[in-house]
Amino acid sequence: MVDRDSDNTGHLRLEGVGGQWGRFVLQPVDLDIRPGEYLVLLGPSGCGKTTLMDLVCGLRNPGQGRILCDGFDITHADPAERAIGYVPQDYELFLSRTVRGNLDFSPRMRHEHGPQIAKRLEHTVDMLHLEPLLDRRVDTLSGGERQRVALGRALMAAPKILILDEPVSALPTSLRDGVCRELKALQSRLGITTIHVSHNLDEALSVADRLTIMEIGCVVQTGEPDEILHRPADEFVAEFTRCRNLWPVEIRNGQLKMDAVKEARSLFQDYGSHPDGHYLLVIRPEHIHLSPAPDTARPDLLTGRVQASVRGSHSWMIEVAIGGMLAYACGQKNWAIGEHVQLDLREDKPWLLPA
Ligand code: ATP
């Protein structure tokens, strides 16, 4: 295992960190990354993920705010002094050097040598299965092999925090799941605080202890995967996490009103004590169960007609027209277009966002 000092807890704190570069504005970000956690920074292309990580690594200066690592203010510290291992999106390896030459880079730059470094190299090589590659030039390696070398090079600096910028996006799709599993297993073994940057929800969910969701220029929500999926902070998070159902509803005098169903109150056991107003009712497709609609119409049931049915890799996505509204349900079987179906909501408490 890579040597790490006993005070090496890897607690990263961002306090109001923001700035402007050209026309891009990063709104002040507050983020508390716990020691040893695997956090995925997730957001669409161009939202500012790399910019934020550049600030953490010291590759650019913030216009405002503070960055603290284990309580020390590192906002303006030299990148080499930060104990942060950064694996950039394109790995930035020395292509004409050998794997050993790349792994040696960080200790050489810091004039570190001796038995401790030799031991660290041995453990890194062992852990990432790099032994057979040590004397190969990097430009002769496959994408997956380069990724391991880049990770090894970052670990050779014995970082407190590891930042992986889109670590699997350069790999063929068939390799991504396996590499993510390896990254997660490695991180669990090392207990190293890790920030994994991604724009892919499935990839993020496969590894994250917590997710931080970014919209263009701002962080909108940080939470455990279930919280993000089921309690999105706003419409953007709901849509980005593929929560397809955002239905307009109204609460009036403590009653839930919805155009599509007369007795909407019966749809949920508890809809909380929301003040009167217009809301979006958020419900995930996997929480809607379809069954054939009863012959006689009931005012307390949500029913509609199947409009489309699309096969996914694990389930079907069924689009149901309910009056003027569309609902999306995830199911294990296909439904015929035009079929009259009943929608059972497998969620006791609806999640309501202000409309
Ligand atoms: P991707 O997922 O595509 O890598 P990202 O979320 O990492 O995107 P950034 O690379 O952080 O996004 O870029 C955010 C925005 O800031 C982009 O529109 C980019 O063009 C812009 N930007 C970044 N640096 C500068 C700069 N120095 N001057 C002007 N604009 C910049």
Query: What is the reported pLDDT for 350?
Result: 80
25 Cα to the center of ligand 1, angstroms = 10
Fold (topology level) of 243-354: OB fold (Dihydrolipoamide Acetyltransferase, E2P) (2.40.50)
CATH 3.40.50.300 describes domain 12-238? yes
What are the tens digits of pLDDT across the range 118-132? 888 998 998 888 999
pLDDT in tens, 166-204: 988 877 788 788 888 888 988 998 899 999 999 999 999
Q: What pLDDT digit, counting tens, does each position of 226-258 carry?
A: 999 999 999 999 999 999 999 999 888 878 888
**What single string gives the DSSP state of each residue in 130-196?**
-GGGTTSBGGGS-HHHHHHHHHHHHHTT--SEEEEESTTTTS-HHHHHHHHHHHHHHHHHHT-EEEE
Confidence of residue 111 (pLDDT cuts 50, 70, 90): confident
Pocket probe for ligand 1: among 51, 55, 87, the residue whose CB has the most ligand atoms within 8 Å is 51
CA of 62 to the centre of ligand 1 (A): 14
Lowest mean pLDDT among 242-246, 256-260, 264-268, 301-305: 264-268
Confidence of residue 6 (pLDDT cuts 50, 70, 90): very low
Return d(Cα 124, Cα 99) in angstroms, integer: 12
Confidence of residue 53 (pLDDT cuts 50, 70, 90): very high
User: 43 CA to middle of ligand 1, Å?
Assistant: 12
pTM of the model as a whole: 0.89
Ligand 1 pocket member 20 (CB < 6 A): no
Average pLDDT over residues 19-40: 97
Percent of the chain residues topping a pLDDT of 70: 95
Cα 15–chain centre separation: 21
Give residue 36 CA to ligand 1 midpoint distance, Å.
28
Give percent of the chain above pLDDT 90.
63
- Residue 72: CB within 6 Å of ligand 1? no
CATH 3.40.50.300 in the chain: give the residue spans: 12-238
Asked if the model's pLDDT at residue 345 lies above 80, the reply is yes
- Helices 173-190/143-155 angle, 10° precision: 20
Residue 72 Cα to ligand 1 midpoint, Å, equals 28
Atom 3, ligand 1: which residue's CA is nearest? Answer: 45
What are 175's two structure tokens? 């390799």
Q: Where are the domain boundaries for CATH 2.40.50.140 in the chain? A: 243-354
Please give the helix or strand (H or E) that residue 126 lies within, else none.
helix 115-127
Report the alpha-carbon distance of residue 151 to residue 109 in Å, rounded.
17
